[in-house]
Structure 1
Amino acid sequence: MEPITPAEYALLVATEADEACDLRTSSERADPTWVPSIEAATGPTDDRKVRADYLRHLMLDQQLSIHLIGARIDGNLDLSGSHALTVNTERCVYTGNARFDRTTFTGNARFDRTTFTGDATFGRAIVTGDATFSGAVFTGKAWFSGATFTGDAWFYGATFTGDAEFYGATFTGIAGLDGVTFTGKARFGGATFTEITSFRRAWFTGDAWFSGATFTGDADFDGATFTGDAGFDGATFTRYAWFREATFTGDAWFYGATFTGDAGFDGATFTGDAGFDGATFTRGAGFDGATFTRGAGFDGATFTRGAGFDGATFTGDTRFGHSRWRVLDWSATTWKTASVVTTGLAAETVTLDQAVFEEPVQLELAAAQITMKRTRATTRLHMVVAGATVDLEDADLAEGSLIEAAPVTVPTSDGKGSVPGGGSWVPIPQLRNEHGGVDVPHGMLLHQWLGHILALLRLDRDLSTALSHAPSASVKSLKRAHIAGTTLSGMALRACTFTGADGLDKLIITGEGILTNNRGEKDKTRPWPAYGRKWWRTGRRVLHDERGLRDPHATTDATDTSGEPATTPTAPLTHRNVSATYRSLRKALEDSKDEPGAADFYYGEMETRRLAATPFSVERSLLTLYGLVSGYGLRAWRALASLVALVGVASLCFIRGDNPFIPWEWVRTTTPATTPVIDPDSVVWPLAFGAQETIALFRPAGAVGVTLVGFGVVVDIIVRILGPVLLALAVLAIRNRTKR
C-alpha cells in the first residue's frame, strides 16, 4: 500500500528513519497546550490526514514502530489481536473507531491529548511500558476491560464523554487519573491497582463503580466529585484511602469494603445515602467535618483503631447497628488505646443498636435520638450527649462507663467555635462571587451545583429543627440493661423505664432536676391554684415506672420525637417490680454515701410495696399507718403533726369529770401543798398534762396531786409509748434528710 497524502509520505519517511512524525506547525509546537480540534482535524485539507488502513499496514505488514503527532487518522483502525506493536499517537484525532483489543504495546504507549471521536477499545491489551492518555478525549465508548498496565498509566485531565469501562483492569504501576472527567458511566469493578492511584479532583457526572476493586497502594480521591451513584462495595484498600473534601451528590456505597490502611473522609459531603454497612476499618477512620444530608449507615462496620467524627453533621438515620469498635494502636511492640473522636458530631438520629465496643472509646454526639439497643461495651464507654433521647434497652455497659449530658451548641459561622443558639450547623458555600455571578465548580452543571447547595441548606434546617427543642439530654429506657458501675451524669430520667434493669444497685446518678416531681409538672393552661398538679401529693422525685402505674395517662416534660408509641415491657409492670427498682437505686445512693438522695427512693420503695400488698392485709395496714404517721420515717412534719394530734386527744381524755360537757372521769386531782404553776381548774391544765404524759416515757404514772382512774390508765400508757416513738420518727426523718 502506497502513501497518497502528504501526511502519509511524511510518516513513512520518519518511521523508516525511526523518528517521530510531527505534523504540527511551528506555532503549534510552541504552544504546549495546543490540541487539534475535531473541526480542524476533519476539515477538507489532507496535510494532516493519515488513513487508518495505511497506519495498520505500516504496523502489521511492515512491522514498523509508529510515533505520530498532530495527525488526523481517518476511518476505523482495527489493530485487535495478539499483536506486539509500538504505537504512539500524540495530539491526534481518530475520526472512526480505534480497536486495540488484546494488543501488546511494547515499550511506552502514548496517546496524550488525543481525541477519539468513535469508540476506543483496549480490552485485555497489555502495555509493557508507560501508558499516557493525559488530556485525551474519548467522545465514544472507552473500553479498557481486562487491560494490563505493567508500567505507569497517566490519564491526567482526560475526558470520557461516553461510558468508560475498566472492568478487571490491572495497574501494576502508578495510576494517575487526576482531574479526569467522566460524563458517562465509569466502571472499575474488579480492577487491581498495585501502586499509587490518584483520582484527585476527578469528576464523575455519571455513575462510578469500583465494586470489588483492589487498591494495594495508596488510593487518593481527594476533592473528587461524584454527581451520580458511587459504588465501592466490596472494594479493598490495603494502604491509605483518601476521600478528603470529596463530594457525593448521589448515593455512595461502601458496603463490605475493607480499609486496612488509614481511611480519610474528612470534609467529605454526602448529599445522597451513604452506606458503609459491613465495612472494616483496621486502622484510622477519619470523618472529621464530613456532612451527611441523608441517611448514613455503618451497620455491621468494624473499627479496630482510631475513628474520628469530629464536627461531622448528619440528618436522617445514622446507623451504627451491629458495628464493632476495637480501638487499638500498635506502637513500640505494645498496644495502646487510640481515640474515637466525635466532637461536634450532629445528627437527627444515631443508631448504635447491637454495636460492640471492645476498647475504651469516647463518643460526643448531638442528636435528637440515639438508640443503643443491645449495644455491648466490654470496656469503659464514655458518651457525651447533647439534646438526645437515649434508648439503652438491653444494653450491656462495662463498669466505669459514663453517659453525661451536655448543652446543645451550634457552630459559629466562621467554624472556629460554638455558641448556644445562632450560627449554622453546616458551612454553606457562597453561591455568588464578588462580581454577582454564580461560580459553578468545574465539571458540574448549574442544576447539580444548585441541588448540592439546596441539600446543604435542608440539612442545616433539619438539624436546627431536630435539636432546637431539646435543651437537655435524657434516657428513654434502661429495660433489661446491664448497667452496674455506670454513671448517668445530668441525664434526665423523667420518662425513663427501669423495668428489668440489672445492676441498679451500683448505678450512679448525678445531677439536679433529672427526675419528675410526684405532683406533676406545672400546666399554665390549667386553673389555679395547682395548675394541674396533684397538690395533695408529696414533692418527692419519682420514677416514670411508678407514675405509669398510678397515672396511666400521666405525661412528663421529657421529649420524645421518635413518633413511635412507648415500648411496653415483656412482662406486665407491677408494683413489686417498681419496688425492687427503687430498692436497687436506693442502695446505690446509700453506698455512695448519698443518704438524702436515697430518701426519695426509699419512700418510693415503701409506697410501691404498700400498693403491692393485698388490700386490708396486716402488711398493707401497717405500711399505710407508717406512711400516714411519718411518711415512712422521712417526713418529720407528719410525725410532729401526729404528735400534736396525740397530745390533743390525750388532753380530751384528761379533762376532769366535774366538767358538765364530759361524760367520763378518768383523772382526779387533789389540792397540792404548794401553789401549782398551772391551776388544775384552768382550761389549759388538761393540755399541759396531756403533753407532759406524752413525752414522759420513764416517769412514774401521773403527777403529784393527780390520780388516773379507769380507762385513763390505758390512755396514759398509750400516749407514753406513742409520744416518744413519734418524736424518734421526727428525729429520724430529719437525720435522713441531713445525713452526710
Structure 2
Amino acid sequence: MVALARPIWPHCGYGADRTDPIGCRGVRVSDYTACLAHLTDDERGAYRDGLAPGADVDHRGTTFTADLLGILFDALLDHDTAEVHLGAVRFDEARFLSDAIFEDATFSGYTADFSGAIFSGDAQFDGTIFSGEARFDRAAFSHSAFFREARFSDRARFEEATFSGEARFDRAAFSRDARFQGVTFADETGFDGATFSDWAQFDGATFAVSSRFGPLVCAQRVGLSGALFEAPVTLEIAAQEVACQRTQWRSTATMRLRYATVDLDDAVLAFPVAVTAHPAPFTTIFGKVPEQLLEGLDSTTMVTSVRGVDAAHLVLTDIDLSACRFFGAFHLDQIRLVGCTFARTPTGAHHLWPFEWTSRRTLVEEHHWRARTPDRKGFNPNLGWRIPPTGTEPSLIPEPEVVSGLYQQLRKALEDAKNEPDAADFYYGEMEMRRHDRENRPRSERILLTAYWMISGYGLRALRAFGSLFFAMVLTMVLLMWVGLPADPPAPRTRGTVTAEQKVDVTTKVPGPGGAAPGPLGERFTRERAEKAGRTAVNSVVFRSAGQGLTVAGTYIEMASRLVEPVLLALALLAIRGRVKR
C-alpha cells in the first residue's frame, strides 16, 4: 500500500500511531487542534455558532458523515431563501461517506475547491451556483454525480476526475472555460442542453460506456483531442471548433455537428465513424437547445484535416471540405463522401488558354501548391488560390506527384459511389497535376498532356472540344481553298477497243489527285470553292470522303482532317456524357 504524503495544511492527526504516523488528515478548525469531525460537541457547537450564511469555510481532508454535513449546512442555511449559502470553501481531499447534497446551494466566494475529494455516496449539485472558480480536479465520484442546471460563473475544473457512476450535466451553464481533461466517465454521461460560453476541454477524457455526448452548445472550442470512446456513441455538438486530434473511437460513432470546424488529425477509427452536418438546432426532452452563443455565425460544418486517418472507416455527409487537407490519410479510395463540397478554382481571367479558369472542384493541396511563389519561399495571395495557414513552411507543401495521387484515390471513391460528375472534376485535377509534374514526368508526356488539355480539357470540357473541332474544320476549309482544290478538276477518262469478235471493251478511269490551285489568291477564296471545302470538312468529321477532286496537298489535308476531326467530336460527346451520367 502506497503511503499518503503528509498534508500541506496543519492537520488533525487523530488516530496517528506507528503504523499510521499521519492519522486524520482533516485541517484543524480555527484555533482548535482537531478537524471538524474530531472536535468535541462543545467545540463543534461553538464553531457552528460562529458561522453565518455566506461564510468562508475550510475543511480540507475532513471526513464527513451525513450528520456532520447536516450540522455544517444548518449553520449556513439562508432562511430567507431556504438554501445553503457558502462563501469561499476548501474541501480539498475531503471525504464524503454518505450522499453529499449541495442541491441549489450557492457558492459566492472566489473558489469552491473540491480537488481530490472522495464522494463515496451520490454527489448532488443540481441547480448549484458557483460564483467563483469551481475545482473538482482529481475528485472521485463513486456513485452518481448530478450537476443538472448548475451555473458556473467562473472557471470549472474537473481535470483527472473519476466518475464511476452516472454523471449528469444536463442544461448546466459554463460562463468561462470548462476543463475536463483526463476525466474518466465509467458510466453514462449526460450533457443534454449544456452551454459553454468559452472552451469546453475534454482532451484525454475516457468515455467507457457513454452512448450519447450532448447535444451541447459551445461558443468557442470543444476539445476532444486524445479522448477515448470505447462504446458506440452519438455526439451532438454545436460549436465554432471541434478538435479531434488523436481521438480514438473503438466502436461505431456518429458525430452530428453544427457551425463546427473539425480537425481529425491522426484520429484512430477502428469502426465506421460518420461526421454529419446537422441541418437544424438540436432538441432534447426539454425542447430546442438554444444557440444564442453562436448567433450570426455560418452554421456550415467544415472538416479541415484528415491526415493520419484510416479513411476506410470515415463517412462524411454534407461537409464543407474546401479547406480539408487529405495528404497523409490512408485508404482515401475507400472514403465515403455524400453531399460534400470542395474548394473551387479561382474566378476570372488568366494569361493562358483557355483564358478563364474553368470552375471545378479542387483539393486544397492544389491551391496551396499553386499559391506558392516561384522561389518556394512564400505564398502569393493575389493569384486567387487559397493560401495555407500562417506559419506553414512552403517547402512542406505536397508536390504535384503527391497531389495527383490524392486526386486519383478520391476519384475512385466517388466512382465507386456512382458519382460520376464529381469524379470527373477529380480526374481533371489528377491530369493537371501530372501535367505540372516536372520532376517525375518526361517532357514528351507533359507536351502530350498539354495538347490534350488545350483541345478538350482532358476530354471533360465539351465547349472546348467543340471549339477545337470548329477550329479544325475552319482550318481544313482554309487549307483546301488555298492549296487543296484544283482550278479545273480533271474529268474521268473513258477508253474503248473493238475486239476481233466485234465487241466493244470500254474502260472508265477516275483520275487521281492532280491539278494545281488557281494562281491569284483572290481566285482561291471564292464562294464556290468554300462550299466544296466545307463539304469535304463536314464529311471528314464522320470519317467519310466527300468524293471531291483534290490536289495532292488537298488529299493529305483531307486525310489529316478525317483522323483529327472525328476524335475531337468523340471527345466533345465524351465530355457531355461525363457531365450528365449518374
Normalised by the size of structure 2, how large is the TM-score? 0.77
- The corresponding residue for 2:304 is 476
Q: CA RMSD in A?
A: 4.0
Q: Secondary structure at the residue paired with 1:294? A: coil
In the alignment, the residues of structure 1 paired with residue 409 and residue 383 of structure 2 have an alpha-carbon distance, to the nearest angstrom, of 23
Q: 627, 649, 655: which one pairs with 2:475?
A: 649
Match of 1:605 in 2: 430
Paired positions, count: 509
Which of 539, 548, 551 is matched with 1:692 structurally? 539
Give the 3-state SS of the residue equivalent to 1:484 in structure 2. Answer: helix
Greater relative contact order (CA < 8 Å, ≥ 6 in sequence): 2
Specify whether residues 236 and 557 from structure 1 end up closer, same or farther in structure 2 by C-alpha distance, changes over 3 A only. farther
Aligned partner of 2:566 in structure 1 is 724
List, as ranges, runs of 4+ consecutive aligned residues in structure 1 with deviation greater than 6 Å. 100-103, 130-136, 555-560
1:315 & 1:632 partners in 2: Cα distance? 51
Q: Distance in 2 between matches of 1:721 and 1:216?
A: 93
CA contact (8 A) 1:120 1:138 kept: no
Cα shift readout 1:511-541 (whole Å, capped 9, x = no counterpart): 26x2232134x9xxxxxx99xxx97011111
Q: Residue type matched to 1:263 in 2? A: A
Distance 2:216 2:57 in 1: 40
- Give the C-alpha shift of residue 616 in structure 1: 7.7
**Equivalence map 1:152-551=2 (5 Å):** 161=55, 163-165=57-59, 167-169=61-63, 171=65, 175-177=69-71, 179-180=73-74, 201-206=83-88, 208-228=89-109, 229-327=111-209, 338-407=210-279, 409=281, 416-417=287-288, 463-464=293-294, 467-511=295-339, 514-520=341-347, 536-551=356-371
Asked if the contact 2:203/2:225 (under 8 Å) is kept, the reply is yes
Q: Secondary structure at the match of 1:578?
A: helix
Query: Who is 1:436 aligned against?
Result: none
Residues in 1 aligned to 2:171 and 2:242: alpha-carbon distance in whole angstroms: 20
Rg bigger for which structure?
1
Residues 692-725 of structure 1: CA deviation (Å, up to 9, x unaligned): 12321xx5xx444x34443333322222222222
Indicate conservation of the 8 Å contact 1:313/1:346, yes or no.
Answer: yes
**SS class of match (1:202):** strand
Q: Secondary structure at the match of 1:342?
A: strand
CA distance in 2, matches of 1:159, 1:612: 76
C-alpha change, 1:670 and 1:135, in structure 2 (3 Å) is farther
* Cross-structure match for 1:622: 448
Q: Which protein is richer in helix relative to its size?
A: 2
The aligned residue for residue 503 of structure 2 is none
Cα distance in 2, alignment partners of residues 178 and 340 from structure 1: 37
How far apart, in 1, do the equivalents of 2:245 and 2:491 lie?
81
Q: Is the 1:254–1:279 Cα contact (8 Å) retained in structure 2?
A: yes
Deviation at 1:469, TM superposition (A): 2.5
The 1:402/1:671 distance shift into structure 2, 3 A limit, reads same
Match of 2:520 in 1: none
Verify the 8 A CA contact 1:399 1:484 in the aligned structure 2.
Answer: no
Whether 1:587 aligns to 2:412 is yes
Q: List alignment gaps of at least 5 residues for structure 1.
A: 1-99, 104-117, 141-157, 184-199, 328-337, 419-423, 426-459, 523-528, 656-661, 674-678
Are residues 713 and 557 of structure 1, via their aligned partners in 2, closer, same or farther at CA, if it must alter by over 3 Å? closer
State yes or no: 1:574 paired with 2:399: yes
Q: Structure 2: which amino acid aligns with 1:269?
A: R
Distance 1:571 1:654 in 2: 54
Distance 1:403 1:478 in 2: 12
TM-score (norm 1): 0.61
AA aligned to 1:231 is D
| Residue 240 (structure 1) shift | 2.2
Tell me how far apart the structure 2 counterparts of residues 370 and 489 of structure 1 sit (CA, whole Å): 16
Please give the alpha-carbon distance, in whole angstroms, between the structure 2 residues aligned to 1:221 and 1:319. 25
Q: Which amino acid aligns with 2:99?
A: D
Instruction: Provide the C-alpha distance between the structure 2 equivalents of 1:559 and 1:134, rounded to a whole number of angstroms.
Output: 72
* Matching residue's letter, 1:274: A
State percent identity of aligned pairs. 34
1:674-703 deviations in Å (ceiling 9; x for gaps) = xxxxx994532211111112321xx5xx44
CA deviation string 1:601-658 (max 9, x = no partner): 1111111121113588011111111111111121122222212111112212222xxx
Q: Is the 8 A contact 1:138 1:159 kept in 2?
A: no
For 1:386, give the aligned amino acid: R
| 1:470-514 deviation per Cα after TM superposition (whole angstroms, max 9, x unaligned) | 2312122223333323122222122222221223212222226x2
* Mean CA deviation greater in 395-404 or 637-646: 395-404
